[in-house]
Amino acid sequence: MVNRKVDQYAVIGNPIAHSKSPYLHAVFARQSQQNLSYRALLAPLNGFEATVRQFIRDGGRGANVTLPFKLDAFNLCDEVTPGASAAGAVNTLWFKNKKIVGDNTDGIGLVTDIARNAYLCLQNKRILLLGAGGAARGVMLPLLECQPAEIIIANRSSEKAWKLINQFKQFGKLSCTEFKDIQGQFDLVINATSASIAAQLLPVPDSVYAPTTLAYDMMYADQPTLFMKHATKLGAQTRDGWGMLVEQAAESFYLWRGVRPETAKLLASR
Ligand code: NDP
């Protein structure tokens, strides 16, 4: 039963039962004393738009969008922010004057987690980005805005890496390479592939890691991923994508409510 007296928010995806977003937003709402409801909405695979429009009719104020609908959300929007436009995908919607507006907070979530929670300033740093799918594209602009020395992209299919380079080359120094040909050490190695989901180790040379390297897996799980275990064995620092998830949720909350929630306790809660 929908309580129309309370502002309605949701996360829309398929599948959706596993989503941590209702928990995160409930914590943010309690902590900032915002009276709102946030629930998980399962959209049929061919029914994303209908689900959003029904949610708006039911009093929805905003929504997060997760797999596999981030591109559908982008296409549905009447307006998108420059960040969403660069990412080509939307994970945060709000509804204003009969318009659907979209942003993408994934990249800001990653950069905030690295800079504020892992204390790594990215200015003049060497970054290795593994993967060139949706998540990689979403983080490109926020990473480049931190003014790293360079970003080297390695992806299984090199044409996708080239596409990213062509889209973002005006914002910083970018190049791409095969996994096995990656040269030198990096300050930050980001695993933006879904290889960890299949428990596969990428064929990246061990020499990319130094003791000061942060090896960041965008995936999060109860246990360290294979990518993280391998980097730890080689002496690097590691971090998974839990902080990215928490920080992208905090950014969405801020966009909707104008209140920036405190994330420290959530970050420490696992
Ligand atoms: P996509 O399907 O868009 O892209 C998948 C990427 O992984 C592609 O670059 C693909 O390469 C590569 N890949 C897949 N399997 C392998 C493999 N076995 N070996 C080498 N490369 C492989 O997925 P997303 O970009 O949306 O997601 C990527 C990861 O990021 C996932 O683990 C996801 O959970 C995580 N993520 C985390 C978020 C968070 O908040 N923490 C937010 C968003 C994503 P190719 O192009 O050659 O197919």
From the candidates 5, 70, 98, 180, which is the catalytic residue? 70
Same domain, 192 and 158: yes
**What pLDDT is attached to residue 270?**
76
Residue 237: CA atoms inside 13 Å, Cβ hemisphere, count? Answer: 12
Q: pLDDT tens, 197-208?
A: 898 999 999 999
Residue 264: which pLDDT band, with cuts at 50, 70 and 90? Answer: very high
Q: How far does residue 163's CA lie from ligand 1's centre (Å)?
A: 16
Q: pLDDT tens, 145-180?
A: 999 999 999 999 999 999 999 999 999 999 999 999
Same domain, 118 and 234: yes
Q: Is 267 helix (H, G, I), strand (E, B) or coil?
A: helix
Helix axes 158-168, 134-144, angle to 10 degrees: 30
Cα–Cα distance, 122 to 143 (Å, whole number): 8
Q: 131: domain CATH number? A: 3.40.50.720
Same domain, 40 and 129: no
How many domains would you assign to the chain?
2
Same domain, 83 and 112: no
Asked if residue 252 is part of any domain, the answer here is no
Asked if residue 269 is part of any domain, the answer here is no
Same domain, 21 and 40: yes
Atom of ligand 1 nearest to the CA of 248: 40
Q: How far does residue 158's CA lie from ligand 1's centre (Å)?
A: 14
**What pLDDT is attached to residue 5?**
81
Q: 58: domain CATH number? A: 3.40.50.10860
Cα–Cα distance, 266 to 140 (Å, whole number): 26
**What pLDDT is attached to residue 70?**
96
Same domain, 63 and 186: no
Asked if residue 46 is part of any domain, the answer here is yes
Asked if residue 124 is part of any domain, the answer here is yes
Q: pLDDT tens, 24-51?
A: 999 999 999 999 999 999 999 999 999 9
* Core vs surface per residue 234-258: b (16+ CB within 10 A) or e: eebbbbbbbbbbbbbbbbbbbbbbe
Asked if residue 268 is part of any domain, the answer here is no
238 neighbors 224 (Cβ within 8 angstroms): yes
70 is catalytic: yes
**What pLDDT is attached to residue 2?**
63
Q: Encoding tokens for residue 145? A: 């805005």
**What pLDDT is attached to residue 196?**
87
Same domain, 23 and 91: yes
Longest CA–CA span in the chain (Å) reads 58
Same domain, 49 and 121: no
Atom of ligand 1 nearest to the CA of 132: 9
Q: How far does residue 155's CA lie from ligand 1's centre (Å)?
A: 10
Same domain, 142 and 215: yes
Q: Encoding tokens for residue 40? A: 């998980």
Asked if residue 263 is part of any domain, the answer here is no
Mean pLDDT of the chain: 96
- Residue ranges lining ligand 1, Cβ < 6 Å: 106, 109, 131-136, 155-157, 160, 192-198, 200, 202, 218-220, 241, 244-245, 248
Last residue of one domain, picked from the residues 71, 104, 137: 104
Q: Which range of residues forms the domain containing residue 59?
A: 7-104
Same domain, 78 and 152: no
Q: What are phi and psi of 44, to 5 degrees?
A: -60, 150
Q: In the predicted model, what is the mean pLDDT of residues 84-109? A: 97
